[in-house]
Amino acid sequence: MGSGSELLMRRRAVKALIALIPLLLAVPVHADWQLDPGQSQVQASITQLDGNAPQTHHHQVNNLQGDISADGTLRLPLRLSQTDLLTRFGDLPPWVGLLANTTLVTLIAQMPPERLDGLDIGESMVETLTFRVQTDLINQEESVPLRFTREGLNEVRVTHAEPMAMDGRALMANSTVRTVLSLLGYQEIDEHVPVTLNALLVNR
């Protein structure tokens, strides 16, 4: 009797689990969101001040990589190899190649993933994220209004909700960035560096 009763209970437990599977699949869970490098880029416009007249040049930062952890921490490391700066050199000095994968700066912000999970397809929201710029020499904060638009079940487009810019003085304070810009002919740049963001967050 005991073994028969135990077998019946196991069967009921298995049936209960099978019945729960559709429910578990239907319940929204907090996703781990990450940037799609192939569809995430930034354009920065740098105005050179050390010539006869100010000249503005446009530069790309491609293959943005970063993710939002379960606790809502967004980390966005930026490396020299993600920029178009290297392609503007002729013959690269060997040490520049060694720096290609060096992280120039890391941007850190808080973005509750449940806010993204709660967006319906086609719905947008604006969140002002406070980014911290972390390097060995710089510890700076900047508030950036961003627009998040859900384009699909697992895709959220990120653009800037208002015009945004980087601090040229902070860029020149980074020794690696300053050295690379100097090699490109930038000795002095405008403190206002407009930035255009177009990125895609995907649900792993």
pLDDT value of residue 157: 96
Q: How far is residue 127's CA from residue 115's CA, in Å, rounded to a whole number?
A: 9
pLDDT value of residue 31: 47
Task: Say if CB 194 and CB 165 are below 8 A apart.
Answer: yes
CATH numbers and ranges of domains, the chain: 33-203 (2.40.128.110)
pLDDT value of residue 7: 67
pLDDT value of residue 201: 94
Q: How far is residue 127's CA from residue 149's CA, in Å, rounded to a whole number?
A: 11
Q: Which two tokens stand for residue 191?
A: 């403190």
pLDDT per residue over 80-136, tens digit each? 778 876 666 666 666 666 667 777 778 888 888 888 989 999 999 999 988 887 665
Neighbours of 90 (CB within 10 A): 4
pLDDT per residue over 47-92, tens digit each? 988 878 888 988 888 899 889 888 888 888 888 778 876 666 666 6
- pTM equals 0.71
Q: How far is residue 178's CA from residue 135's CA, in Å, rounded to a whole number?
A: 14
